[in-house]
Structure 1
Amino acid sequence: MSGINLVWLVVGIGLGWAIAQRFSRKAHSSSPLDEEPAIVHPNEAPDNGDSVQQLELAYYNLAEIAHYKSGFLARSSHELRSPLSGLIGMQQLVLEHLCDSPVEERDCIVQANESALKMVDVLDNIIDAAKLEHGTLQAQIQPVQLAPLLQKVYRLTHLQAQNRTIRLHIATPDPEVYVLADPQRLQQALVRLIDTTISELKDGEIHLSLQPSSNEQTVCLAIDQPVALETWSDPIDWMQQNPAWKEIIYGIGLPDKRVIAELAHVPFPSPGFSLLLAQILLQSMQGTLQVIPLPDQEGAQGVGDAAAIVPETRIECILPRLILEDE
C-alpha cells in the first residue's frame, strides 16, 4: 500500500511541476514588464502648431468654397430674375387684354416662349457647372483636333453674327494641333462666349484665332472683340436700376409695356455670368480663362471704315496641348 502511495505522490509532484511551468511561461510572455517601453524623444514629439495650422487651412478652404457656392447661387438667381420678370409681364399683357391686336398678342406669346427656352438653356448650363464643381459630373478628357471643332463653332454662330451685321472670323489652325479637353464642353464654352459677344455688339468684327502660347505645353485660343473690358466684369444689375420690375413680379397695378419691352431686351445671361460659366467649363478640363485689354490701335480714323472699330479686349482660353510623337 505504501508503494502505491509513493507512486501517486511522484505523479502528483510531476503534474504540479508541469502545470506550474506552463503558467509561468504564459505569464512571462504576456507580462507588460518584459515589453520594450516606447521612448519618446523631445525632438520627435508631435508638433501641435503644425496640426493647428493644418486645421486652420482646412477651415479657410471650406469657408472659401462655401462662400463661392453661395455667391454662385446668388448670381444664378439674379440672372434668372430678369427673363422670368419679362416672361410674367408678357403673360400679364395677354391676360389683361392690353394688347392692341391679335398680332401683338401673338408677339407677346412668341417672346414669352423664347424667354422660357433661354431660361431652360441657362438652367442646363448652371446645373452642368454645379455638377462639375461638385464632382458628380466628370469631364471626358480626350485628344481633340482643333481645326474641325472650330469649324463647327463657326457653323453654330455665324448666322447670329450675320443677322446683326457683325463679321465673324474664325481662323482654321494647323490640322496637327491637338488639345486635351472635353470636345462637347469646349465647344459649349466657345459658342457661349461668341454668342455673348454678338449680343453686345451692333457692328464690328470678332476674331477667334490661335495665338502663341507662353510655353509649348499649352494652346491659347483668343477671341478679339470691340467690347469694353468693364462689360465682362459684373452681371447687369438691371433690377436695381429699374424698380418697376417689382410691379410685374407681384402683380401691383397694370403692367407697363415699356418696362416689359426693356425686360425682353436685357441680355441674358449677362456677359459676366457667361464668362463665369465658360470659366468653370475650362477649369474642369485643366484649362484657364482670362480677359485682358488690348493696346490702343491707331490709324483707324476713317468714318465708315470697317477698320475703325478695333478690338478692345481679348478673351484667352488656355488649354493643355497634346504633343504628338513625331513633333
Structure 2
Amino acid sequence: MNEVDRLTKDLQQAQVAYQMAAQLSQFKTGFLARISHELRSPISTIMGLHQLILHNLCESPEEERESIEQAYQAIQKLLKMIDEILMVSKLEYGRISLNIISFSLEMVFADLYQFTHLQAANRNLKLEIILPQPALYIRADLEKFRQILITLVDTGINLTKEGTIQILAQVNPESDRVIIYLNIPCSVELWQEDGQFPGIGSEPSLETVKNFSKTLEMSPTLKFLLAQTLIEMMQGQLEILPMSPENQSQRFTQIQCLIPLASPESVAQEWATV
C-alpha cells in the first residue's frame, strides 16, 4: 500500500469515526432532552396537588388528605423513574457493570410468557410467544435482558386494543446474532406519544390531578430509549422497523432486537465452571 492509499484509508476511517461520534452526540442530546421532559410530568403532578391544598380548593379535610396521599404516590413514581435513569447512567460511565453470561433464550421466553400472559388476557389480547430451540443460547445480562423484554411487551399490551402480540426469534448466521421480533398490533405513533400533565397554571380540579397521577409513568418513548441504550451496552441493537410503503396504513409496530449469539464452546466453558 503506497502513501496515498494509506492516507485515503486513514481519512475514510476518520470520517466514519466522526460520523459515529456525531450520531452518538445527537442521540445523547435527544436522550437528555427526553429525560428532562419526562421528569416534568411527575413534578407537575406534585405541584398541582399541593396547589389544590394551598389555594383551599379541597372541599374537606378528607380531600386534602387524599391530595397528600396522591402527591406521595407521585413522588414514589418519580423516584422510581430517577432510579432507572441513574442505573443506565452508571452503566454508561462504568460505575457499575453488566453481568454478561450465556443463557437459553427459550428460558427467557418462558419467563416472558409467565409475566405477561395474564395482563394480555385481561385486555382480551392474544399473546403468542414462539419458543426457540432449547439449544439456542445468547450472551447478555440475563436479569436486565429479561426485564427489557417484559417492559416492551407490557408497554405493547397497554397500547393495543385488539389482536395478537407475537414474539419470535431466529438466528442470523452472517452476523452471529439472534434476531428477536416483537410484532404488536398498534400504530407506531403510539410509541412516540408523551404523558403530558394537563397544566398547573389553570388550577386543575382534584379529579383531573387524581386521574392523571394514577396513570403517571414513563412514556413509551422513554421506556424504549432506556431499553435501546441497555441493549447497545450488551453489544446488541434495538429498533422499531419502518413500515413498507404498501403497509404504512396498517396499525402495526414491529420491534427488532439483535443480541449476540453464544457459541457452543462458550456455553460449554461457562457451564463447566458452574
Scaled by the length of structure 2, what TM-score is found?
Answer: 0.75
Is the aligned partner of 1:238 residue 2:199?
Answer: no
Does the aligned pair in 2 maintain the 1:83–1:263 contact within 8 Å? no
SS in structure 2 opposite 1:322?
coil
Does the aligned pair in 2 maintain the 1:293–1:312 contact within 8 Å? no
Query: What is the deviation of 1:79?
Result: 0.6
Question: Aligned letter for 1:129?
Answer: V
| Cα distance per residue 1:285-314 (max 9 Å; x no partner) | 1111111256778xxxxxxxxxxxx87111
| Cα distance per residue 1:63-98 (max 9 Å; x no partner) | 655544333222101011112212332344355554
Question: Aligned letter for 2:196?
Answer: W
Instruction: Identify the residue that residue 272 of structure 2 maps to in structure 1.
Output: none
Segments of 5+ residues of structure 2 without an aligned counterpart are: 268-274
Scaled by the length of structure 1, what TM-score is found?
Answer: 0.64
| Cα distance per residue 1:35-64 (max 9 Å; x no partner) | xxxxxxxx98xx999999998887776665
Question: Aligned letter for 1:149?
Answer: V
State how far apart, in whole Å, the 2-side matches of 1:84 and 1:157 are. 30
Query: What is the deviation of 1:101?
Result: 6.1
Is the aligned partner of 1:319 residue 2:264?
Answer: no
Does the aligned pair in 2 maintain the 1:288–1:319 contact within 8 Å? yes
SS in structure 1 opposite 2:235?
coil
Identity of aligned residues (%): 35
Does the C-alpha gap of structure 1 residues 183 and 129 become closer, same or farther in structure 2, counting only changes over 3 Å? same
Instruction: Identify the residue that residue 256 of structure 1 maps to in structure 2.
Output: 205
Is the aligned partner of 1:275 residue 2:224?
Answer: yes
Q: More displaced, 74-83 or 192-201?
A: 192-201
SS in structure 2 opposite 1:236?
coil
Work out the number of aligned pairs and report it: 261
Alignment of 1:155-170 (within 5 A): 155-170=114-129
Is the aligned partner of 1:117 residue 2:63?
Answer: no
Query: What is the deviation of 1:111?
Result: 4.0
Question: What RMSD, in angstroms, separates the aligned Cα atoms of the two structures?
Answer: 3.8
Does the aligned pair in 2 maintain the 1:140–1:181 contact within 8 Å? yes
Question: Aligned letter for 2:79?
Answer: V
Instruction: Identify the residue that residue 176 of structure 1 maps to in structure 2.
Output: 135
Higher Rg of the two aligned structures: 1
State how far apart, in whole Å, the 1-side matches of 2:234 and 2:121 are. 31
Segments of 5+ residues of structure 1 without an aligned counterpart are: 1-42, 248-252, 298-309
Alignment of 1:1-327 (within 5 A): 65-94=24-53, 96=55, 98-100=57-59, 108-211=67-170, 213=172, 215=174, 217-232=176-191, 234-236=192-194, 238=196, 245-247=199-201, 254-257=203-206, 259-261=208-210, 263-264=212-213, 268-293=217-242, 312-324=252-264
Q: More displaced, 164-173 or 91-100?
A: 91-100
The structure showing larger relative contact order (alpha-carbon pairs under 8 Å, at least 6 residues apart) is: 2
Question: Aligned letter for 1:141?
Answer: I
Does the aligned pair in 1 maintain the 2:42–2:216 contact within 8 Å? no
State how far apart, in whole Å, the 1-side matches of 2:120 and 2:60 are. 32
Query: What is the deviation of 1:261?
Result: 4.8
Does the aligned pair in 1 maintain the 2:58–2:206 contact within 8 Å? no
